[in-house]
Chains A and B, each alone.
Chain A
Amino acid sequence: SQKIEQNSEALNIQEGKTATLTCNYTNYSPAYLQWYRQDPGRGPVFLLLIRENEKEKRKERLKVTFDTTLKQSLFHITASQPADSATYLCALESNAGNMLTFGGGTRLMVKP
């Protein structure tokens, strides 16, 4: 069955450093992958989408890579700020299409 793995341990980094979060998947080949941000007690907010034929996507301080050989996506936040502290979820197109399968998320804590 489809499986998505994100580091369940919180990532603690210092303000100004680059945060890198990992999303690994097994047992399927999604055509695209999405990243979301979720703040406590709120719904997830869409950040970026990357397609299987794109190696890298950028949006302001965010960068996403998608390696279909390694079955892995990396999510980078450069010049991180305390306001970037949140849980970040990756989501992949499910085999049934039009639906997403979400990873468990990684909590990022940026300390001033």
Chain B
Amino acid sequence: SQTIHQWPATLVQPVGSPLSLECTVEGTSNPNLYWYRQAAGRGLQLLFYSVGIGQISSEVPQNLSASRPQDRQFILSSKKLLLSDSGFYLCAWSAGTGHNQPQHFGDGTRLSIL
């Protein structure tokens, strides 16, 4: 069966520090991969998605970047964190073929910027 792992579960970082959040998927090949941010009590905002290795699309301009160095690995990064980067970050995958595919989420990283 397929599984998705995100780490760390919580992270406290000072303003201006770098960031690297990692997400890996097991049990499937060539998945679509997604990074979302969820503000408290709000819906999910899509940040990045990827349909293949090295292919990244950004949905909103921001202080963050994403990379996909391997088929089942998706990394969210920042060179210098801002206070506004605080939030709940979720990684998700869906089957890479066809529409109508449900998305499967990791358990997220709670990021607090001090």
Footprint of B on A, CB under 8 Å? 4, 8, 31-32, 34, 41-46, 49, 51, 89, 91, 93, 97-105
Give Cα A45–Cα B108 distance, bound, in whole angstroms: 12
Return the chain A residue nearest B39 by Cβ.
A104
* 11 residue pairs bridging A and B, Cβ less than 8 Å apart: A31-B100, A43-B107, A44-B90, A45-B105, A46-B102, A46-B103, A49-B100, A49-B102, A98-B49, A98-B101, A104-B42
Chain B 25-57 per-residue mask, 1 if CB under 8 angstroms from chain A, else 0? 000000010100000011110100101000000
In the complex, what's the smallest C-beta–C-beta distance from A95 to chain B, in angstroms?
Answer: 12
B81 within 8 A of A: no
Q: Which residue of B lies closest to A44 (CB)?
A: B105
Besides A4-B43, A41-B107, A93-B99, 15 other A-B contacts (C-beta < 8 A): A8-B41, A31-B99, A32-B100, A41-B110, A43-B90, A43-B106, A43-B107, A43-B108, A44-B103, A89-B43, A98-B49, A99-B46, A99-B49, A100-B103, A105-B43
Which chain B residue has the least Cβ–Cβ distance from A45?
A: B105
Please name all residues of chain A whose beta carbon is closer than 8 Å to the beta carbon of B100 when the two chains form the complex: 31-32, 49, 51, 93
- Range, interface on chain B: 20 to 34
- For A49, the chain B residues whose CB sits under 8 A away are 100, 102
**Complex: A97 Cα to B96 Cα, angstroms:** 12
